[in-house]
Every structure is written in structure tokens, then in C-alpha cells.
Structure 1
């Protein structure tokens, strides 16, 4: 595979050490020692037989590339995300691809939207297919990521997310972006603003909610918070149905992702609610898609391309033996005003 900075959709089907360990009911490290005939492998004859039987049953073969990586590099990095079609993740991919091309690295892309994420994630590093891994996931839990990946591999950087106890991440200023959106929506006599957020156990949602609530408090406005277990259009639509079916609707809405914002506009259309005449809307993240909606959607532009680029730099620093760190992209969020948040009569 050429290391030309182009991305490759990555799928794995071969059995891994973890598959063997699950069947044999032992730790993956013990499987590795037994398979590689490590004289220090401490296991009873029964345990050793159980491991070898599992190896034979699964047809597992140790990957020589993984051993080679102790002294050599592949010039490849992995990028794992939940949905390549999402405009925000597409921008991250662009930033990663551009920087990798400049530095002579190739990319393996993994999309875990359809499940089987554990196998995809662990295979990348376990088989030595990549030198390191970038994880841009707003769906997998902190517990899963720490247990299955972050506690076992050092060359990993979280993108657009921070996890407690994990030393390496690159994010944007989500708090400021949410606050700026509220300040914009607070114009024109607004009294109540609703916020639509993703899962509260994900720190991205926490940061955006903190910025939202801080600005609401500062401006002495009323707030309504709707939390959904996903970040997509259907989540935004359901939140919209909930908010717009109330006897008293909010004056304005902050959607914490552009996909949620699109879903909210759909709900307004279904219920016959006029945007922005009755309710004004701003969504986090920008995309050309926003220009083609009716009404066009006001958004908060975030430097996601830069975030992808800086994530590559941090990962390569770690691969080279440097220390990890938490980085926030310096470029501030920027409001893109379109029809959905204009004052009635200003269109």
C-alpha cells in the first residue's frame, strides 16, 4: 500500500490475540507469550492446552509485522471515527489527510458506525498495521476506550474529546463556541433558549453544555435542556418535536451539532413552526450543507480541519518518544449567520 497520504477504508476479519484470549479465558498477554514460545510464560499444562486449542479453532496466526514494529515503522497511522458521512468528521479526515501527505504518512480509516468497533480498534495496533492511532469518537464510552485501547497502547491520541486519566488529546474551544451562539440568539428580546445536547457522559457534550449554561446565566435568560443519546439528525428531530410541541415554545434553540440542527429544522417543518419567525436556531459546526437548507442554517464554525492536522503532529511526537499533552486549537469559533437566526423581517 502506497504511503501517499490517501485514506484507505480499513476492515479486518482475521482472528486476533483477544479472540483467542476470550475463548481460552485468559489474559491476551499470556496468549502472546505462549504463541511466541516465551520461556517465561507461566501457565499450567491445562491452561496452555486451552490456549493452543483456541488458536487452532480460530486459525489464529501471529503477525510478524507486529514484532517487526519493535524496531521499524510502517509510516501509517489509523483514524477511527463513527461516521465518515458526518460533515464534522469529514473535516477531521481532511485535516488528517493533508498533514499526513505533507509528512509522508499514509492513513487507514475505520468507521465503527455499524458496530464491531472493538475488533476494528484493537486489530489496528495489535497486528502492527499502524504506528499509532487517532480516535475521533463521540459515541464509544470512556470505560470502553480506556479498557480496550488507551490503557494498553501509548501511541493513541483522542480527537475532539478528552478522557480523564488519558494524557493525549486535541480539541477545539467548545465552551466558547456554545457561549457565542447563545449571545447571538439572545438578541431581539429573547427570553428562553433551549439547548439540544448529545450523551452527557461524553466530555464534548459536557463542554458545550457548560458554555451554553454559563452564557444563559450571564445573560439572565431562561433555559431548557434536552439531552439525547446520540448526535444525529433523528436525535435533533425528536428533540425538536419535544420542544415545539410544548404549549410555550422556546424563543430560540442551540443545537450542539449541525446534524441535530438539521433534524430540528425537519421537526419544525413537520409541525408547521416558522423558522426564524417563531423560533430562531443556531447549530454547532459548519458545512456547505447549511447553505442548501430551507431556511439556511446559522452555524458556529469550528477549526476542525486544524484539529485533525494538529492531532497528527501530536501523535507523531508520541511515536517518536515524546510526551503526550492536551491541546486546544488556538483558532476561535466563528459564527456564520444565515436565515435560521435572523430577526423576523431581516431576511
Structure 2
């Protein structure tokens, strides 16, 4: 079968190639009569240079867009790579392709990224939007199918870790190991941080322990902030016997701080992380942590989004996945050699 070019479309439609290009790109510089004529020729020739042309002709692009936070190091984050692998694995079952979009110079408090206006896509994944990100509120009003990953909505489909239960189970386990002074390094303000703090408090309550605000501090999920936050916690007269960090990097930073201050981990101070990233088994000692099912999140999110694309009338789908506690060398029973 002959493959037609943009010149063939222009010749049969009796317009210039520039006009065909403008039609394909949905330019407002082409009048409706000319646009219709060009689209009819494109359809007749089955000319499909890219996803944009297909979407204009058929009303469907077979393109899903993954919107990620505008953070410089996000693409190197362990959990993003795992979620992406899960999406890619599940996407192979469907006739869809994916574009990854990271807004540049975009203030999430302002709403929808302007570069996506009018862009042909059938559905959108949004990973870990901030609490104040108006993008989610904008998407809740749109008809485009959306699935949130590591976030929640009263309207949109979402898939997330049960952060509250996961953090609660860590505190309960540490309490059963004899720890009564449980320090907590939380992350940046956001849904996950709020949920993990809630779980931390619930774990204390269920263990019969009092909440002490001096045992709680915040970081930004970086190793450096974990280091400084741990030093702050260990400067108190009544020091924690264990530090629970809201991600693995901060936990590893806490291990470094403990070593610098002369604490033996885990003999004098236990450390517990969250994520079970690659770094957890590379740290010295190896890190006890919460394993998140990132790969499964990506798989399930893809199934959610494809089913939503194919049937907008489906009821809202939501799922909380459980975390799994993984005990390694960085934690032990209090007082046990």
C-alpha cells in the first residue's frame, strides 16, 4: 500500500503544504471550509504523520499523557522509575502510547499548564500533585479521563498507598520492640506527609505512648535534610531511641548524622525508612523500611485510565494499596545487643 505524503494531501485538496500543516496543528488561521476539505482528503488517503493528525480525523489520539511535578530531580527518583515501569508494562496490552510532560516555569498554584491547552490526548496520569496544585481542581471540571497516582480526589479516579496504616504499623512494630521515644522526620507539606504524620500519631496512641512535638521535625525528602533533621532530634536531652523517616533518603541521612555524633546504629539508635528504594540495601547498615508497591501502582493506574478512556460513564474508581514492613540491619529491639 502506498504511503502518502503531506504533498499528496496538499495536491488533492488544492492547498499548500503549509495549509495542511496548519490544519493538522489545529491553527485558527484556516477557515472552516478549507479545514473540512483538507480533513476529508487526510481521511481518504489515510494520511497519519503523527498522533495529532489521527486525533483530528478520528476524534481520538491513542495518546496518554503522564504529568509529573516540576521538580528538577524528579526523573531520577526511585519511585517515579518504578511507577513508570509499571505503566509501561501494563500499557503494552493496549493500543496506546504515552507522553511524559513536566511543566517548565509553571506555578502549580495557577492551574492547568498552558502548553497542554488544545493538545490531543485521550487521558492523563498525574503523579503526586501538591496539595495546593490547582491542576487537579481544573481536571475535576474537565471531561478528559484522569487518574491520580499518589494523590486523591472526590471526583477523579485515583490509586494510592495507604499511608496512614503504613506509618501506624511502623510505630506499632517499633513500640513492640521496646521503643518509647520514637522520633519522626516527616516530608514536605502535602497529602503523603499529612497522612504519614496521622499514622505516626495513631500508632503512638494505640501503643499507649504520648505525642511529643519535640520528637517530630520536617525535611524535604533529601539526604541532606534527613541529616540535619536527625541532628536536631538527637540534640534534645531526652533523645529518641529510634528515628522513623518519611522516606529512605532522609533515613540514610539520619544514619550519617548518628555516625557523625558517635551513635552506633542500631545498637544505640535504630533507624526506619519509607519506600524500600535501591538505596535501602546499599546503606550501611542496610535500612529497615516500608516497601511501597510502586510497580503495581503504575500497572493498576494504567488499567484504570484505559477503562475510563473507553467508558466515561463508569463510576469513580479508587484503591488504597498496603505497604509492607521490611526489617533489615538498621533496627532492633531496644536494649538487645
Check if 1:103 corresponds to 2:94. yes
* Structure 1 unaligned residues grouped into runs of 5+: 1-31, 39-62
* Local SS of the residue matching 1:199: coil
Distance 1:154 1:297 in 2: 41
Distance 1:33 1:103 in 2: 30
Q: Which residue of 1 aligns with 2:78?
A: 87
Larger radius of gyration: 2
RMSD over aligned CA atoms reads 3.3
Superposed displacement of residue 127, structure 1: 4.2
Q: Which residue of 2 aligns with 1:272?
A: 262
Distance 2:219 2:336 in 1: 35
Superposed displacement of residue 278, structure 1: 2.0
Superposed displacement of residue 220, structure 1: 1.1
> Which of 46, 60, 64 does residue 77 from structure 1 map onto?
64
Distance 1:174 1:65 in 2: 39
| Superposition pairs of residues 213-252 of structure 1, within 5 angstroms | 213-224=201-212, 226-228=216-218, 230-252=220-242
| Superposition pairs of residues 303-342 of structure 1, within 5 angstroms | 303-320=293-310, 321-323=312-314, 325-330=316-321, 332-342=322-332
Q: Which residue of 2 aligns with 1:204?
A: 192
Q: Which residue of 2 aligns with 1:132?
A: 123
* Structure 2 unaligned residues grouped into runs of 5+: 1-25, 33-49
TM-score normalised per structure 2: 0.73
| Superposition pairs of residues 277-296 of structure 1, within 5 angstroms | 277-296=267-286
Superposed displacement of residue 290, structure 1: 0.9
Distance 1:141 1:262 in 2: 26
TM-score normalised per structure 1: 0.72
Number of aligned residue pairs: 287
Distance 2:254 2:315 in 1: 38
Distance 1:241 1:161 in 2: 31
Check if 1:185 corresponds to 2:185. no
Distance 1:342 1:296 in 2: 12
